[in-house]
Each structure stands twice: as structure tokens, then as C-alpha cells.
Amino acid sequence: MAYVNNIRMFLRVYELGSMSAAARDQRTSPAVASSRIAELERHLGVRLFNRTTRALHPTEHGKLFYEGACKIVEAIEDAEAKVMLATQSPRGTLFAAAPLGVGRRFIAPLVPQFKKLYPDIDVRLRLSDRVIDVTGEGLDLAFQLGPLQDSDLKVRVIADCPRVLCAAPDYIARRGMPETGDDLIEQDHDCLNLRFPGAREFQWTLQTDNGQRRFEITGPFESDDGDVLTGWALDGAGIVMKPIFEVADHLAAGALVPVAVKNPPLPVPLVCLSPSRRLRDPKVQLFAEFMVKNCRDKLAELHASYRPEPGQAG
């Protein structure tokens, strides 16, 4: 088994181009990753990587070994998956990530239910509104709320989530009610911005009579936590763009009201992402199917229950 683990480590180092990234992916330390590669090189009698202080590149021997190593690991993983499915006893630890709003409202509450169905599967869930590197961070799967990027990840669309621009009645009383995207700019409204490294939300794309249009928004506050923005909006600090599922209760209670309803935001897709190799693992398949179905059902129920007044966004 040690030899197989060494091969697995080699594959991740080769694919990620980094000893530290491969170590994170395999839930171990860079020192252990380095020792496994060194042990594999001693066994084969060749150098698999050329190392410099800044980069790591496979040698010609490494490139040759990679092709065969992929087939070895795929065969082992397929055999393990068949045994687990045949015995109906999937087990192991699963690593997943989700945005804060999605994770707190949907994924996290469903984890204990999943655990009851599959007691031998442990779940490690990370919540963050930043952009997640699914492969680089060694995740089995991740939930994403936002436009899809070109990648080699397997994608399952859960739902298109309608969004709304909204603010507290106190803010509207002080600053006036913007009816269009142009009003946001011309009336210099305070827009609450989700901002973190790699974010691009200084622009809001809204629907107009002439199609989609980007509006350059500004405001005094920004945060990397979407729930913080909701809290600021409730306190009357400005206008926020949110998926309806995150603010439906506040809208129903009148604590927030839709604004710029003539130019509503575009819906945002909620998707489940996973590296292709991970999806051969029964525990990952089961978790993905369980979460996709239950999230889809809960979102459909919530969106059906939200009935905006005539003329409001929804």
C-alpha cells in the first residue's frame, strides 16, 4: 500500500506542479510528500522531477512514468469503488467547500442527515465566499454560486437563483428610491460590495430593455462575507445585491425592499463542482447526489413561496 500511496503522491505532484499543493491535496505535509517522491525515485532508479528553488518540472522519465501510473491508480480506484458499492459500505473522509450563504442555509444543515444515512463517511466542510481552487486545495467537491469558468471539473447545475437589489426602508427614506441602474450611478447611491482577492464585483450586470448592461457601482463599505453585507443593508448602510434565498425572509418582513426594479440583476447559477477522478469514489458520488437533490428541492420551495408585489424584482 505504501508503494501505491507513493504513486498517488507522484500523480498529484505532477498534475499540480507543486510539492506543497500535492501535500495539501493528499492531507499530509510537504516533508512527507517529498519523502514519498524520493522513495519512489529510489525504487525506480531514476529522477522523476527536476527541482529548482522556484519550480518543479517532470523529467522525461517522469513523463513516461506518469502515463502508466495513471492507469495503475485508476484501476485500483475503480476496483475499490466496485467493492464499496457491492458491499454498500462507502467509508472515508470527504472534503467539501461552499459559499457562506449557501453553506450556512443549505449544505451545513444537510450534513447531519447525510451522516445518518452513511455513518462511515466523515465530512469536512469549509465555508468561504472567496474563489475556491477545487483541485489545488485538494477538495472532493465544491459548491459555487456564480458564473462558470472553463475548467476540467465536472459540473452539475443545481439551480439558477434569481437575485434582487434591495435596501432597508430607512435607507430609502434618506436617499430616495432608485428605479433603474442609471439611478444608482446618477444619484450616487451607496452600494455594498462583496470584495475579496480575485473578486470582480465593482460592476453589477443588470437587465435592461436593450439587454444586459454593466453598471460601475461605488460605496463606502465592502466585505468578503456576504452575510456581513446583508447585515449592513438591514442597518440602512446601503444597497446590496443578493440571491433571493438569502434575503427572502427580510423581504417578506419588510426589513428590506427591492430597488431599481426596472433593471433587475441576472440570476446566478448554483453548481456542484468536482474533479473527474474524485467522482469515481462512491462517497463523493453519494454526497454530490444527496446535496444536489436536496438543495434543488429546498430552493424550488423557497422561490415558489416568494411572491414579490407587482413591479418588484423576483
Q: Which residue has the cell 440583476?
A: 265
Phi, psi of 119 (to 5 degrees): -65, -20
Q: Is the dihedral of CA 166, 170, 175, 178 positive or negative?
A: positive
- pTM of the full structure: 0.71
- Cell output for 68: 502508466
pLDDT score at 82? 67
Q: Could you count the other beta carbons within 10 Å of the beta carbon of residue 8?
A: 19
Q: With pLDDT > 70 as the criterion, what percentage of the chain qualifies?
A: 90
CB-based contact 242:105 (threshold 8 Å): no
In our burial notation (b when 16+ CB lie closer than 10 A, e otherwise), range 164-174 reads bbbbbeebbee
Same structural domain, 142 and 77: no
Specify if 58 maps to a domain. yes
pLDDT score at 226? 87
Same structural domain, 70 and 147: no
Same structural domain, 206 and 282: no
Same structural domain, 193 and 234: yes
Which of 87, 108, 125 marks a domain boundary? Answer: 87
Residue 132 sits at the vertex; the CA angle it makes with 129 and 136, to the nearest 5 degrees, is 160
Same structural domain, 238 and 173: yes
Specify if 244 maps to a domain. yes
Specify if 203 maps to a domain. yes
- One pLDDT digit (tens) per residue for the chain, 314 residues: 688 888 888 888 888 888 888 888 777 888 998 899 999 989 999 999 988 777 788 999 989 898 888 888 878 777 766 666 655 668 888 999 999 989 999 999 999 999 999 999 999 999 988 878 887 777 889 999 887 775 778 888 999 999 999 999 999 999 999 999 999 999 999 999 887 655 555 788 999 988 999 998 888 888 888 899 999 999 999 999 999 999 999 999 999 999 999 999 999 999 999 987 777 788 898 999 999 999 999 998 887 776 655 444 44
pLDDT score at 121? 92
Specify if 181 maps to a domain. yes
CB neighbour class for 154 (10 Å; exposed up to 12, middle 13-18, buried from 19) = middle
Same structural domain, 105 and 247: no
Same structural domain, 41 and 120: no
Instruction: Kindly report the CATH number assigned to the domain that includes residue 278.
Output: 3.40.190.10
Which of 37, 64, 87 marks a domain boundary? Answer: 87
Instruction: Kindly report the CATH number assigned to the domain that includes residue 218.
Output: 3.40.190.290
- Cell output for 241: 445585491
CB-based contact 312:261 (threshold 8 Å): yes
Same structural domain, 155 and 285: yes
pLDDT score at 103? 93
pLDDT score at 17? 83
**Domain hosting residue 11, numbered range:** 2-87
Same structural domain, 153 and 223: no
